[in-house]
Chains A and B, each alone.
Chain A
Amino acid sequence: MKEATVVVQKPRFAFHAGLQQLLAFGSLILLVIVFSIASSNFFHFSNIVGILLSTAVIGVLALGSTFVIVTGGIDLSVGTVMTLSAVMTGVFISMWGLPVPIGIIGGLLTGALCGFLSGFTIARLGIPPFIATLAMMMIAKGLALVISGTKPIYFTDYEVFMEISLGSVLGDLIPGFDIPNAVLIFFVVAIIGSIVLSRTIIGRYNFAIGSNEEATRLSGVNVRNWKIVIYTITGVFTGIAGVLMASRLNSAQPSLGMGYELEAIAAVVIGGTSLSGGKGTIVGTVIGALIMSVLTNGLRILSVPQEWQTVVVGLVILLAVYGDILRRRKS
């Protein structure tokens, strides 16, 4: 019973919340500076664009994952659902000859449907998120292989489709500023995600459920339905990642995707979102995703073998989360 503390602690807390993001952002800047000094090849426009481009797909996946993780849940299916979305987009466009926009919407709907089904099994049937989405991961992986006949589906005849990722609307507007659309889409999606999470009722329930699901339910909130909505949102983000991926490779590769979910979760965690729910920001996730790709890119430029890069990323995850725990213990 620690009822005696009626104290005013407001300023300190506001500072604390800001600090968390500041620290992640600081680490990112520090990494960039260190790599720039270590190698003259790092801080080049083309290399930076390369880093951003390689962040886009995982980044969008991580943005979607942020939503479920803030509720205290998890979605292990985002990697393979992304692949299934890509395959379905391929089926709609290349195989059925539907217009490209319809194909894209089909891809997004595929993701949404998978998210909805995960949400349904979790919220209505009471299956733990880890298991429900593990099952969805396998189902989506299998379906992607079945539907594609285990072979890649190419978009060779649809140049427009490739433009989605690799074209540059910005470059057309500002000559020389050739930032690929995929990067642009990543940031736009991040802004939308940030608005949804912080400014809409969905986001508010998101945090409420993550903070205390039972208290939220006992406040008359239909928690089960909202959870389905939130998993569906994650699904939509996953669909977007699928389309980006397909467009970038100019093909839907049915055997890719497995393992992406873990990288997405890693980005979310490095960004300061708590796996126990109730805390997290989209900005954090963007920074987390960037830290991961800066790290891989920088290490590659320094000729660190790929196997070691993975080791370093693992250590960074430990460090980021431990730092977060230390900070929380102090407060």
Chain B
Amino acid sequence: MSRNLVEMEGIEKHFAGVHALKGCKFGLLSGEVHALVGENGAGKSTMMKVLTGVYQKDEGRIFYQGKEVQITDTRTAQKLGISMIHQELNLAPDLTVAQNIFIGKEPRRAIRLFLNDKEMNRQANELLKQMNLDIEPTTLVSELTVAKQQMVEIIKAISYDSQVLIMDEPTAALSDAEIEDLFKMIEQLKAKGVGIVYISHRMAELKRITDRVTVMRDGSYIDTVPTADVSVDRIIAMMVGREIYQPAKPDRQQGESEDTVLEVRNLSRGNVLRDVSFSLRKGEILGVAGLVGAGRTETARAIFGADPIDSGELYVRGRKVRINGPHQAVKHGIGYLSEDRKHFGCLLDMDVKTNIALATLGRFTRGGGWMNDKHMADVSRKVVEELKVKTPGINQKLKFLSGGNQQKVIIGKWLTRDCDILIFDEPTRGIDVGAKSEIYKLLESLAASGKSIIMISSELPEILRLSHRIIVMCEGRITGELLNDDSITQERIMTYATDRIS
């Protein structure tokens, strides 16, 4: 008989300035596979992090096997029997399979200092056999395929007597045959009464493996329905919301220039990028939609020369170019604004003026490498004024600026460099609502002044609001290219974004 394993209700979570979870609920039965779906940023991960003790809920109650529990940290969750299989696996590659499974609870000998490897391997073997896995306990994890590693991770979770397994995009890195193996394993776990939370964007898989679906959107709980009773279209509609919210379409005229400034042909890199081809016109904002892991950032980094590519060609203003590193990309007038501002975008410990001048330092010298700080200050002051950066001055360290203002400083850096091809990767991530519209206006005015913009965004309203054209990516390839006219809906984009061809 199925019984209630987990019940979460009225969960509230705030991060500075962001209301991440608004009275959310979630329930899991034993022996059930329960899909948790929603767009990027809908609150799925936050919800699961509350359940696994990574985050503390602000309000709400969690019941585990009928009793209310306080999950104050990850250890508590683990003791209760709640485990998460992360997208990036948490195994030590240089240890064996058995050592990984029993890490922290190794069988010992009578003298407790000494390990009992024989016993450990025997127990590991038993666990592996139970799940019909053909893996030697003494193999090094680094020698296994990603799929096998994932199974080891699942075994590790079971070895803690986990009753609840949370799988975050478990099939993202797997081939079809491997997915079949994983599904078999999930069936076995179900039969043992384990409850599984299955986070995935792949609709076809959800239909196949899950019993119920819970949809979240913008930090709110939308609905929970039996999977068999809903169509994929219906799930997608719930994810994006019914109200077709599309204010101010972009100025159509602008996107119609015929001058192609950048052409990308057959960009490929391993499984990450497969034959990516598209072109970018002068004065255009080209939106790039897709789900996390679709290869959008990788495309941007490949164009910018930040990562090497296996094959592919780039044409800038009709001329074929080879870009072996960012320093060459900027020479061709390409600028890249990373999705991860703090790590890849700016120098937090340095001041506004240095950050603005960073891509053009050579221009602010008097010859002989002597810095002309006055010139740099003058230019920075102008940029700060033009872009309306809110800062007490150009000598302020960047870490004291808000996300929106940091972003403006980075935009200023590329404008100072006279880049006319700008790649914005999630330009409004972590930026509050007010500043967002300012960034939008800035992007529009940049395009109007003849700059060409590639804008990667996970927020569909943002894509629809700004883009003249839209390309949609899924699993490293472009699955759709659309003109942003009245026929476009979020649902259509989502359909392309979940369009899995393998």
* Chain A interfacial positions (CB closer than 8 Å to B): 1-10, 13, 199-205, 207-208, 211-212, 214-222, 278-279
Contact = CB atoms under 8 A, between A and B. Distances in A.
Nearest to A202: B369
Contact of A10 (B347, B350, B393): B393
Interface in B331-360: 331, 335-336, 338, 343-350, 354, 358-359
Nearest to A9: B400
A1 B343 contact: no
Contacts of B432: 3-4
A204 B370 contact: no
B359 A219 contact: yes
A220 B329 contact: yes
A6 B348 contact: no
Contacts of A222: 325, 327
A119 B400 CA distance: 34
Contact of B326 (A7, A10, A218): A218
Contacts of B390: 6
11 contacts: A1-B403, A2-B16, A9-B400, A203-B371, A212-B348, A214-B343, A215-B338, A218-B306, A218-B338, A221-B358, A278-B347
Contacts of B430: 1, 3
B358 A219 contact: yes
B369 A201 contact: yes
A220 B15 CA distance: 34
B347 A216 contact: yes
B392 A208 contact: no
B347 A8 contact: no
Contacts of A9: 396, 400
Contacts of B347: 208, 211-212, 215-216, 278
A1 B16 CA distance: 6
B392 A3 contact: no
Which are the 7 A-B pairs with shortest beta-carbon distances? A220-B330, A222-B327, A211-B347, A3-B403, A219-B359, A200-B369, A8-B392
Contacts of A216: 347, 358
Among B345, B368, B405, chain A packs the most CB atoms within 10 A around the CB of: B345
Interface string B300-334: 00001010000000000000000001110111000
A257 B329 CA distance: 44
Nearest to A1: B15
Nearest to A225: B327
Contact of A218 (B336, B350, B401, B405): B336
Interface string B391-423: 011011100111111000000010001000000
A3 B326 contact: no
Contacts of A203: 371
Given A212-B347, A217-B327, A220-B326, 16 more contacts: A1-B15, A1-B17, A4-B17, A9-B396, A10-B396, A10-B400, A201-B365, A204-B354, A211-B349, A211-B350, A212-B344, A215-B345, A216-B347, A218-B345, A219-B359, A220-B329
Nearest to B347: A211
Contacts of B331: 220
A219 B413 contact: yes
A207 B397 CA distance: 13
A67 to B, nearest CB: 14
B343 A208 contact: no
Contacts of A5: 400, 402
Interface in B50-69: none
B362 interface: yes
A4 B343 contact: no
